[in-house]
Structures are given as C-alpha cells and as structure tokens.
C-alpha cells in the first residue's frame, strides 16, 4: 500500500543492466535537488552478490527461484530506500523495478498472474521509463538482473535458455509495463 505522502516513484525497466543504470542516473539528474531521493538499484540487499559467489556445487537457481530472490531484494529496497523517500515526499528512481523481472519470468515460462500476485506488495510506480537497449553481447552477470538470470538459465539448460532471447524479453518488458500515461517530463531514452 502506498504511504500517505506525495512522493513519486519513477521505475526504469529494460533488459540491459548498464543502460538501465545510465537512464536512471539521467532521470535522477532531472529531478530538482530538494525532491531528489536518489536511485534505488538492483541488488541493494546484496542477495544476488551472494548468489554469484556461491560454490558451483550449491546448484544453479531456476527462473522461479531467481524471481523469489528478486522479490526479497525488492522488499529490502522498498523498506530502506523507496518507502522512506516517498514518505518524505521525495522522488525516487527505481532501476530496475517490477516490469523487468516480470518480463524475465514470462520469457522463462512463469505464469504472469503468479508474478502479479507475488509483487502485490510493491508500490505502483508513477512513471515507467522503458530502456530499449538490447543486452550487450559482452555483458557479464554482474551488470544486471536479466544478464545474471540468462547466465543461470543457460547453465541449467541451453534449450530452456533459448526462450530468454533478447527479442522475447524486449516484447515482454513492453507487455509488463503498467498501462498508465507517462508524464511528459522524461529524460532521453537509451537506444
């Protein structure tokens, strides 16, 4: 539930971690300093960092496990970064937010309704900036959630990972975007 204050969440979602970060910083720079609360980034909780250093024998997480961990990371970001900002009436940029993980999950074959219920705890964003850049061929798993997720699925099963093609993800990200008008104050998008 949204706190009773006038803060704003700008979600930045897409399939290229580096481009999401660049767009988020550009978006934050357009916010007046007095209202600016900064950028809430993927893995602020360090959960994925811990997954990355787990020994191979621990096993590779599936798409569903990754989505659950993403939800835990987002719960952390909401608790420590996003809610406090909007309770103070500030504008916070969440990069990425929900559309990215929903797109990833759908491309991996997870049920959209399941993810909608799972992320019911997340505050609906006021604006969504879709980053249309495709993933870099050289991007490692640390550059973003989608890159990390693709690496995991490729390790699990090359045939299952084929579904996580950039084109599919891009379509899914658009489909996952909330259907509400985006405010005219919008920074330049990544192409």
Partner 1 sequence: MRDFRARARERFTDPTRRRGFLVAFEGPDGSGKTTQRKLFKTWLRSEGHDVVTTKWNSSDLIKPIIKARKDARALSPEEFSLLHAADFRHRVEQQILPALWDGKTVIADRFLFTGLARDAARGLDLDWILKLYQPLLWPDLVFYFSVSSDTSSRRVTATRVPSFYESGRDVTNVDDPVESYYRFVTRVIREYESLSVIFNFLTVDAEQPMNQQHHHLRELYRQGENRPWSTWNEDAVAEWLALRGGRTAKGGA
Q: List contacts with partner 1 (CB under 8 A).
A: 45, 47, 50-51, 54-55, 57-59, 61-65, 68-69, 71-72, 75-76, 79, 109, 114, 117-118, 120-121, 156-160
Which residue lies nearer to partner 1 by CB, 29 or 50? 50
The length of the chain, given as a count of residues: 191
Q: DSSP secondary structure string, 45-103?
A: TSHHHHHHTS-GGG-PPPHHHHHHHHHHHHHHHIIIIIHHHHHTT-EEEEES-HHHHHH
* Least separation in angstroms between CB 90 and partner 1: 21
* Least separation in angstroms between CB 59 and partner 1: 5
Q: Which residues contact 3 (CB under 8 A, 6 or more apart)?
A: 83, 86, 87, 123
Which residue lies nearer to partner 1 by CB, 30 or 45? 45
* Least separation in angstroms between CB 55 and partner 1: 7
């Amino acid at each position: 539930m949204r706190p009773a204050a006038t803060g704003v969440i700008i979600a930045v979602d897409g399939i290229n971690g580096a481009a999401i970060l660049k767009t988020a910083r550009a978006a934050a720079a357009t916010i007046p300093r007095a209202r600016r609360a900064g950028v809430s980034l993927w893995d602020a909780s360090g959960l994925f960092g811990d997954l990355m250093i787990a020994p191979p024998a621990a096993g590779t997480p599936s798409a569903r496990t990754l989505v659950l961990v993403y939800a835990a990371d987002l719960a952390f970001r909401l608790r420590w970064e996003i809610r406090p900002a909007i309770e103070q009436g500030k504008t916070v940029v969440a990069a990425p937010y929900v559309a990215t993980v929903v797109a990833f999950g759908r491309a991996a074959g997870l049920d959209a309704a399941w993810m909608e219920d799972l992320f019911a705890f997340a505050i609906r964003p006021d604006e969504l900036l879709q980053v249309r850049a495709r993933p870099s061929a050289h991007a490692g798993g640390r550059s973003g959630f989608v890159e990390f997720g693709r690496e995991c699925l490729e390790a699990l099963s090359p045939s299952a990972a084929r579904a996580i093609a950039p084109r599919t993800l891009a379509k899914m990200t658009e489909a996952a975007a909330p259907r509400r008008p985006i405010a005219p104050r919008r920074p330049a998008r990544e192409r």
